[in-house]
């Protein structure tokens, strides 16, 4: 058996627990069929943590996250907790994980599976075969910059302000991840900012270009303004392979790219920290979709985004590329067979429940493992 892999599972709120159940079904299958063992521990985050402990993330759970080989999160939030003070809202638990684990690189793939080509809002010829990766800087920029706040001006008006700020080292470390990703894909990287109107964008472009010239001359580097990138994503998305950008633009552009695929229920993500001396990175994996409290407990949730997030974990945290591909192949085969939850259903065809999708994937994995 290979070495034990320590996994912290944080199901969270809404549909989080039910989609996470299907991931644990696959973890158990891997334990029995693929000669690899996982040590899985569950914890609370978000609204469920507040209900139990009066905080969206306890210090004890934070310590477990720091000690885990990887963290898998379901979803957080919901109307039940919207009136809580800002510091107690469910999302603060997720932000604390990202901050204290120093997860600066957010990987958001946007891949269109062939059976879902017609689910996209764009023409099939624009999205068929689409497979791009958006790399978003996650711990800097306008979301974290200081000063920030709301003040009252002498004339009685209020003014809200935030600061967009990046250092050379912050830009360089996320750009380096982008170059390394590009080398493993098609050797093409597009860096996105607003250097035409923002000084932080000027610095971003300078640092990325200098790093490319120095350490990655083999990678084809291009630069693009963020507004043009948004337009190009819906005009000709297949021109891109890896996009690296800042926190604000990454937030917007990754959601734009997500909808090219037809459903948020299909999209995984990974948030990675810096590599230590052994090459290990702290990492958090989660689906792009939210907690969807309106369908929680009804068996309607699509577990595939969380399962694909687990596949990303196998690839990036555990160097188990073969097993990651097995899960991805299983998902594509199910979609080709018409196995769909309500969010990706075909007109006039039946849908399956969350649990039925999980069981169908296990059956498909069994077939693929025998082939």
Catalytic residues: 143, 194, 227, 251, 255
Q: How many CB atoms lie within 10 A of CB 115?
A: 19
Closest CA to 26 of 307, 368, 248: 307
Sign for the pseudo-dihedral over CA of 129, 130, 135, 136: negative
Contact 10, 61 (CB under 8 A): yes
283 DSSP β-pair partners? 272
C-alpha neighbours within 13 Å on the C-beta side of residue 21: 16
Element (H, E) at 127: helix 124-127
Element (H, E) at 137: strand 131-137
Structure tokens at 341: 């939850």
Q: How many CB atoms lie within 10 A of CB 187?
A: 15
Cα–Cα distance measured from residue 269 to residue 282, given in angstroms and rounded to the nearest whole number: 14
Contact 134, 250 (CB under 8 A): yes
Cα–Cα distance measured from residue 29 to residue 36, given in angstroms and rounded to the nearest whole number: 10
Strand runs (DSSP E) across 175-323, as ranges?
188-193, 220-225, 242-245, 268-275, 281-287
Cα–Cα distance measured from residue 304 to residue 308, given in angstroms and rounded to the nearest whole number: 6
Residues 6+ apart with CB under 8 A from 370: none
Cα–Cα distance measured from residue 145 to residue 164, given in angstroms and rounded to the nearest whole number: 6
The rounded Cα 313 to chain-centroid distance in angstroms is 11
């Amino acid at each position: 058996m290979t070495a034990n892999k320590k996994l912290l599972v944080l199901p969270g709120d809404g549909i989080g627990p039910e989609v996470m159940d299907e991931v644990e079904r696959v973890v158990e299958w891997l334990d029995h069929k693929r000669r690899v063992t996982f040590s899985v521990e569950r914890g609370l985050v978000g609204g469920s943590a507040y209900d139990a402990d009066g905080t969206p993330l306890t210090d004890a759970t934070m310590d477990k996250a720091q000690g885990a080989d990887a963290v898998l999160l379901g979803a957080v939030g919901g109307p039940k907790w919207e009136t809580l003070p800002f510091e107690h809202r469910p999302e603060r638990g997720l932000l604390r994980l990202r901050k204290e684990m120093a997860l600066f690189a957010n990987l958001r793939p946007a891949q269109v599976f062939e059976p879902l080509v017609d689910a996209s809002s764009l023409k099939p010829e624009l999205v068929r075969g689409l497979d791009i990766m958006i790399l978003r800087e996650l711990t800097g920029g306008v979301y974290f910059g200081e000063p920030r706040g709301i003040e009252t001006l002498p004339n009685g008006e209020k003014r809200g302000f935030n600061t967009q700020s990046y250092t050379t080292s912050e830009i360089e470390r996320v750009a380096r991840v982008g170059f390394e990703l590009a080398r493993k894909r098609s050797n093409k990287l597009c860096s996105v900012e607003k250097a035409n109107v923002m000084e932080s964008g000027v610095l971003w472009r300078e640092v990325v270009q200098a790093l490319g010239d120095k350490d990655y001359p083999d990678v084809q580097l291009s630069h693009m303004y963020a507004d043009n990138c948004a337009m190009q994503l819906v005009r000709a998305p297949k021109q891109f392979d890896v996009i690296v950008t800042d926190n604000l633009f990454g937030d917007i552009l990754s959601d734009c790219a997500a909808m090219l695929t037809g459903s948020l229920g299909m999209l995984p993500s990974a948030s990675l920290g810096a590599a230590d001396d052994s090459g290990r990175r702290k990492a958090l994996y989660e689906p792009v979709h939210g907690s969807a409290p309106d369908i929680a407990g009804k068996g309607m949730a699509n577990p595939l985004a969380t399962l694909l997030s687990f596949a990303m974990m196998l690839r990036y945290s555990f160097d188990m590329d073969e097993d990651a591909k097995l899960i991805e192949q299983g998902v594509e085969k199910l979609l080709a067979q018409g196995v769909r939850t309500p969010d990706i259903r075909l007109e006039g065809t039946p849908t399956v429940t969350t649990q039925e999708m999980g069981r169908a994937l296990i059956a498909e994995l069994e077939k693929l493992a025998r082939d």
